[in-house]
Amino acid sequence: MLLASISAFSMKHYTSNALDKLSVLVTRPAHQAEGFCHLIENASGTAIRFPVIAIEPIDNNANLNQQLAEIDQYDIAIFISANAVKYAVPHWPDGLPSNLNIAAVGSKTAASLRVQGIAVSLLPKHSFNSEALLELPQLHTVQGKKIAIIRGVGGRDLMADILRQRGAAVRYIEVYHRALPKQHLSVVNIQQNCDIIAVTSQQGLRNLITLCDNKEWLFNTALASNSQRTADLARELGFAGDIITSLEPSDEAMGAVIASWWQRNNQVRP
């Protein structure tokens, strides 16, 4: 097995045929996948769309509605994902309090907030993840502050745990949940064409295994992940093909890692 982490750089450094003859199984939720699919196709690759996670809002929940209505009681609101923005912001038709500091874990989340007219004051400069956000000086001095973490149901507790250790009062506001799509992946039509699978979360990886009807093919197909944690889990679960890892979760970084792998793969072919 090849387990590699490759420094990310923009797809603009590649020619328009950087992914020529490459087929990528794209497993992101349908409403989030098109940007990555277009990136693959613009580099002469083939994107096979197969969402393994369905994102569904939490509606008609009195407790959630109360939590959202109390947003003015917080000092900092941390948005974990673009989905958190999508499903939370409509609950605040009059906007967010002007004195509320807004944090985003990644660039896509920040962009989603800005589209809604919400200024982002806390954003990592590199390595868009919880660890990078927690390195910001403003999140080291949170003694006595109230912080809302806006996210989907479940997920990592690292952010809340560290902030509580630093003296903050932290509360989750969970505005959506992840569900297993009502479909199965039959590899009959793609087994001969799919070169690599792109996964972007641990739950997505587990759902992919559940939804695929040919585990032998799946575990021997190359895998691209946008986090080391997901790559490590893939190895633990039995993936035996190449596993490559992006150092950043962006579409461009994932595309760059896959293109680099494809170039090396073609060089060693007879």
Residuewise pLDDT in 10s, the chain (270 residues)? 444 444 434 444 455 788 999 999 999 988 889 999 999 999 999 999 999 999 999 977 899 999 999 999 999 999 999 999 999 999 999 999 999 999 999 888 999 999 999 999 999 987 778 899 999 999 999 999 999 999 999 888 999 999 999 999 999 999 999 988 877 666 556 666 799 999 999 999 999 999 888 899 999 999 999 889 999 999 999 999 999 999 777 888 899 999 999 988 875 444
Task: Using alpha carbons only, give the angle 132, 251, 135 rounded to the nearest 5 degrees.
Answer: 5
**Residue 89 to residue 91: CA distance in whole angstroms:** 5
Q: Which residues contact 12 (CB under 8 A, 6 or more apart)?
A: none
* Predicted local confidence at residue 128, as pLDDT: 76
The CATH number of the structural domain formed by 3-53+183-267 is: 3.40.50.10090
Q: What is the pTM of this model?
A: 0.74
* Predicted local confidence at residue 158, as pLDDT: 93
The domain spans of the chain are 3-53+183-267, 60-178
H or E stretch covering 127: none
**Nearest alpha carbon to residue 16 among 269, 267, 259, 261:** 259
* Predicted local confidence at residue 222, as pLDDT: 96
* Predicted local confidence at residue 270, as pLDDT: 44
Same fold, 3-53+183-267 and 60-178: yes
> Which alpha helices (H) appear in the chain, and where do they start and end?
30-42, 62-69, 82-88, 107-115, 130-134, 158-165, 202-211, 215-219, 228-237, 251-267
At 29, give phi and psi (nearest 5°): -55, 145
Q: Would you say 18 and 262 are in contact if contact means Cβ atoms under 8 Å apart? A: yes
* Predicted local confidence at residue 205, as pLDDT: 95
Domain 60-178 has CATH 3.40.50.10090: yes
**Residue 167 to residue 141: CA distance in whole angstroms:** 8
* Predicted local confidence at residue 191, as pLDDT: 66
- 238 exposure class (CB count in 10 Å sphere: 0-12, 13-18, 19+): exposed
